[in-house]
Each structure stands twice: as structure tokens, then as C-alpha cells.
Structure 1
Amino acid sequence: MAQDRDKLDWIESELQDSYDEEWELELDDERIPEALRPFKDRIRAKGIDRHTYFRELLRLQAELVKLQDWVVEKKLKVVVLFEGRDSAGKGGAIKRITQRINPRVCRVVALPAPSDREKTQWYFQRYTPHLPAGGEIVLFDRSWYNRSGVERVMGFATPDQVEQFFQDVPEFERMLARSGVILIKYWFSITDEEQQFRFLMRIHDPIKQWKLSPMDLQSRVRWEDYTKAKEEMLARTNIPEAPWYIVEGNDKKRARLNVIDHLLTRIPYGEVPHEEVVLPERVHNPDYERRVLPDDLYVPQKY
């Protein structure tokens, strides 16, 4: 009985360690810098309760594993675009999608600003090398829609280049659809007040300050310009082959659950049969003697 109890304790410890990864991410989200403590009650009042959130998140992540297996089995090519204002919650949603699935199957693409050479290329050229082969899922943390957003608003693209983009992008996406790519486009929507609070969180939290760029600060100044650009983008690029889906993002937890749940409905999938896995017995060689390694090779055990 004692041996069985030890095994159960070990299993419980292993499961807890797995769940702690998500808990650590949530703690990072909920740390409130001292300067923003007065906002704490407002944040707590609108949030989904933690028990419901974790229960649903783990259930949905289990379904994502099934979807991953189906994509591999059927050699599907899946592209998911995550767009939205700065601090809208795109990165947090992507983390929860990729958290428990195989990074060799599902990868994230977050391209830096184009180089001088890339600026002379066909606009879509820097994105096409990252498109999936059969059995792969690619999540774009911002995509070719930079041209109709930040590049347009900040003056990095001329009006002619923006208009050419609007002429080209529907046909580019139809080409992807004709080639068998499943293209899903999400726009994360947040209010002016919510973005202001999230930017203040980044300003006052040393761990998050790296997320705040000069471009982010300019996006606050040009809120209305971004709104106009977003509205035209949605109107001119919402095509049947690749429609836009808007995610209400003011509540991060609900946004994550909603986008994962919706993504699972966009790709019909089923169970992939797997052979039963049997752990083989270790081979013991009576003549083998494990070597004792020098102490200086080990990382100091401070914890």
C-alpha cells in the first residue's frame, strides 16, 4: 500500500508540475505594479473566475492536441493570422495555443522590420518562405497586413503602395486557398481605455518594459488613424475564401478561450488512431558501472 501511495504522489506531482507552467503565465499577467494598484478592483471585477478558466483552457488545449494529430495525419496546411492593436492580447493567445502541442508541427512567425533588401522585394516575398507544408500549422504574430496598418499609419508605405496592397491581397489569399492552405484571420479588438491601462502596466513593470516600443507609443497618439485604417482593411479584405473574425479582447482570459474554441470549429477534425504505447524494460548490464563525474561539472543546487 505504501508503494502504491508513493506512485500516486509521484504522478500527482508530475501533473502539478505540468499545470504550474500555465499558473506561472497567469501570475505574470496578474502582477499589478504599485503605481497601478487603484485599478486592481476594476480588473478583478470583470475577469472570468480562475477555476472555470483553467478547466476550459485545459479542455481546449487537449482538443488542440487532437487537431494537431489530424493536421499531421491528413497533411493539412494551416495558416492563422493574429492582428490587432498593440497590447491587444495576440501574444498571450498564441502562447496558450502552442503551449501543449508539438513545436515541430505548430510554429510561430513574428518577423522583424524589413531589411533594406527586403524593402525592394515583392511585398509578399518575405512572408511566403514561412508558409506551411503539408502537416504544419503556422501562426503569424502580425502578418502581411502590416502594410495596411502600421506601415500605412506611420508613413512607411506610400498611398500607392497601400492601394496596390489592397488590390493584391485578396488574390494572394485566393491563391493560397486554391493551393490547399486553410487561412484563418483574427483581429483582436480592445478599447482605448484598456490599451491605455496595458501600456501603463508595461511602463511600470520592469519585466514587461521590453514589450513597449516607440512605435507602441505612437500608436496611442494615432489611435483614430489606426481605427480608420482597420475599418478599411476589414472592409476591403474580408473575402469568402479568408474571412476576418473579430475577437473581443478586453478580457484576456475570455479572449483566449474564445479564440481557441473558434479555431477548433474552423477545421473539421477527428480522432487519429494511435498504436498503444508500451514502455520497454530497461536493459541492465551487470558489467556496467556508472562513472562518478567531477563536482565542478554540476550546476550548483541553490534551490
Structure 2
Amino acid sequence: MKEFDREMGDEQHRRRRLDEELIDAYDEEIEMEVDDRLQEFGLHISDEARELRRVYFRELIRLQGELVKLQDWIVTTGHRLVVIFEGRDAAGKGGVIKRITQRLNPRMCRVAALPAPNNRERTQWYFQRYVQHLPAGGEMVLFDRSWYNRAGVERVMNFCTDEEYEEFFRSVPEFEKMLARSGIQIIKYWFSITDDEQEVRFHSRIDDPLKQWKLSPMDLESRTRWEQYTQAKEVMLQRSHIPEAPWWVVQGVDKKRARLNCIRHLLSQVPYHEIEHPYVSLPARVHHPDYIRQPVPQSMIVPEIY
């Protein structure tokens, strides 16, 4: 009987965590409006959790306002900023990147998420395909995974040789020091989650058809090699933590806290200040008496279904 109760308790806990994951997924797109619709989706949230989400959204919007100020400062000063996001699969990297870029100009804040190298790229200098994505003056580039693939997935999955692995650690400090000397600021984040939390997030991806695309065969393989990834991460942090480009660890089990903490920390690493802009006055619309607006053919109109 006790074993049955324990299994039921575990299942209820799992169901509750999956509900929380699904609620979080809806939050990503419709944010505050989700409160009025949760019951329709069969999801339940406590008053305490609802209040915590209100605090989260209030802080998120405030920090995003600071990111806009940071953007203005980077454009005005010509600063060049690289932010690297690393971590296990489902650790929350994509979520924080989405919140950082959500209200910024995509022309100055770009995301670099490179696919696996092709046959030609495999014969190049290892860092070559990343160099072309580095920022010009007035730009910020967010690397959703980076050249540290060699220290993580390539090492664990045996996609590189021992010699290539050791050469990476000989080269990466010099590579990043060279970038720093050229005026590029580098900030590196590792998102840390627990074994149990990753399992919950993977189950959420399996159960939610809107998120199944996020689950790859490589993700499934990574579950069987948890300890190897841990060892690879520990070596990476030890051998590539340098003053010019230090590592920062984000505790990522609570997604919302991780997002806020990471954005706040990022803002603290750049000496930005608010840039004054001249007052914008909207000019009057110019009317010409001989202008005639031509009708649009009905066949070109998108049907108004909604």
C-alpha cells in the first residue's frame, strides 16, 4: 500500500511539473493574458504562483527597458559585445535569449545558432566559421552554443579526436584574448540544471506537440551520458575561465528566476548609460489634390476568416 501511495505521489508530482512546464510555454507567447485562459486548457495554478508570475513579468519588462538603453549605448559608442550561452539540452538557454532579444532591434542584436559543420567547414581552422558571426561596431551577438561545442558535445560524442580536443584548449584562451585586445567584450554563461529537472523538461517536450521539434536524437543520447557531460563541463570551466572572458554559472532549475538573474547580470557587466535622444515630432501627412488611390483587386485580399 505504501509503495502504491508513493507511486501515486510521484505521478502527481510529475503531472504538476508537466503542467507548470506547459503553463510556462504559454507564458512565452501570451504572457500576462494567460491568467484568464488557464482553466480553458485544464491547467491549474495557485494564487501564490500567479502572484509570482506577476512579479516576474513586472521585473522582466523593467529589465527589458534597461536592455533597450544598453542597445542605444552600444549603437552610439560602437561597442562590440559577444554573449555566449552554453549548458545542457533543455537548460533554458533559448528562453533567456528570446527574452533578451524580444524588444531589441534585430539589426544590432543578432543570434548566432550554427548547425553542425558541413564537410568543407570540418577542414577549416576550427574557429573560422564562428569568426564571420562576430559583431561589428555597434552590434551585440548572442551565441546559442558556440565554439565550446568542441569541449562539450564533440568531446562526449567522440566527434573530435583527443588531439583536436587538446588543441582547442591550447587555442581558445589565446583566441578570446585576441578578441578582447581588438575591443570585443566576451561574456560567457553556463546554464546549470539538475538531472531530475532535465528529465521533466524532456518529458514536457515529448507530451507537448508544439515543443516536440525541440527534441532531437542527440538530446535523447545526452540523457544516457549525463555523467560524461558533467565531467566535460567541469574540465571546460576549469581550462577556459580567463580574466578576459570569464565563465558565469546561472542556476537554471527555476526558468523565470534564471532569466531575470541572467539579464540583470548581463546588464551589470557593461558600463552603459542612458543616451539622450532629440524629441521626435511626427511630420504632417502631405495631401495632393490630384492623388487617386487605386483599388486593390479582390483576388489579392487575404480572406478575413477571423
1:27-54 per-position Cα deviation (integer Å, ceiling 9, x unaligned): 6xx99xx9xx8xx78x998897111111
Tell me, in whole angstroms, the C-alpha distance in 2 between the residues paired with 1:69 and 1:223: 41
Which residue in the other structure is 2:177 paired with?
174
**1:197 pairs with 2:211:** no
**Contact 1:48–1:253 (CA under 8 A) maintained in structure 2:** no
Query: Which position in structure 2 is the counterpart of 1:216?
Result: 219
Q: Distance in 1 between matches of 2:116 and 2:48?
A: 38
Q: Give the 3-state SS of the residue equivalent to 2:110 in structure 1.
A: strand
Match of 1:107 in 2: 110
Which of these residues, 289, 294, 297, is aligned with residue 292 of structure 2?
A: 289
**Aligned equivalents of 2:30, 2:138: Cα separation in 1:** 31
Match of 1:93 in 2: 96
CA offsets 1:220-246 (integer angstroms, 9 cap, x no match):
000000000000000111101110000
Equivalent pairs: percent with the same residue? Answer: 64
Change in 2 beyond 3 A, CA 1:148/1:45: farther
Cα deviation, residue 173, structure 1: 0.5
Residue deviations 1:160-201 (CA, integer Å, cap 9, x gap): 111111111011110011000000000000000000000001
Match of 2:190 in 1: 187
- Give runs of aligned pairs for residues 136-147 of structure 1, distance below 5 A: 136-147=139-150
Give 3-state SS (helix, strand or coil) of 1:167's partner.
helix
1:239 aligns with 2:242: yes
Aligned amino acid, residue 265 of structure 1: S
Helix, strand or coil: the match of 2:188? Answer: strand
Q: Does 1:64 align with 2:67?
A: yes
3-state SS in 2 of match to 1:245: strand
Matched residues in 2 for 1:159 and 1:95: separation? Answer: 35
C-alpha contact 1:77 1:136 (8 A) present in aligned 2? yes
**CA-to-partner distance for each residue in 1:265-293, whole Å, 9 max, x for gaps?**
00011111211100001011222222222
Structure 2: unaligned runs, 5 residues or longer: 1-25
Q: Which residue of 1 aligns with 2:22?
A: none
Aligned match for 2:229, one of 226, 231, 237: 226
Aligned partner of 1:3 in structure 2 is: none
The alpha-carbon distance between structure 1 residues 168 and 178, as it changes in their structure 2 partners (threshold 3 A), is same
Residues 188 and 167 of structure 1: is their aligned pair in 2 closer, same or farther, counting only changes over 3 Å? same
Number of the residue aligned with 1:119: 122
Aligned counterparts of 1:44 and 1:190: Cα–Cα separation in 2: 26
SS in 2 for 1:289: coil
TM-score (normalizing by structure 2): 0.85
- Pick closer, same or farther for the CA change 1:69–1:100 going to 2, 3 Å: same
Post-superposition CA distance 1:58-93 (Å, at most 9, x none): 100000000001001110010000000000000010
Alpha-carbon separation, structure 2, partners of 1:87 and 1:22: 15
Amino acid aligned to 2:219: D
What one-letter code is carried by the residue in structure 2 that aligns with 1:96?
A: R
Secondary structure, counterpart of 1:107 in structure 2: strand
After the TM superposition, list the runs of 4 or more consecutive aligned residues in structure 1 that deviate by more than 6 angstroms. Answer: 43-48
2:156 aligned to which of 153, 156, 176? 153
For residue 167 of structure 2, give the secondary structure of its aligned residue in structure 1: helix
Q: Does 1:24 align with 2:30?
A: yes
Q: Over aligned residues, Cα RMSD in angstroms?
A: 2.4
- Alpha-carbon distance in 2 for matches of 1:227, 1:48: 35
Q: Distance in 1 between matches of 2:145 and 2:28?
A: 24
* TM-score (ref. length: structure 1): 0.86
Aligned residue in 2 for 1:262: 265
Q: Residues 102-156 of structure 1: CA distance to partner in whole angstroms, max 9, x if unpaired? A: 0000000000000011111110001000000110000000000000000000000
Give the equivalent residue in structure 1 for 2:8. none
Report the Cα distance in structure 2 between the residues aligned to 1:64 and 1:50, rounded to whole angstroms.
20
- Quick check: 1:277 aligned with 2:300? no
Distance 1:202 1:51 in 2: 25
C-alpha contact 2:31 2:57 (8 A) present in aligned 1: no
Cα pair distance change 1:85/1:21, threshold 3 Å: closer
Aligned residues: 277
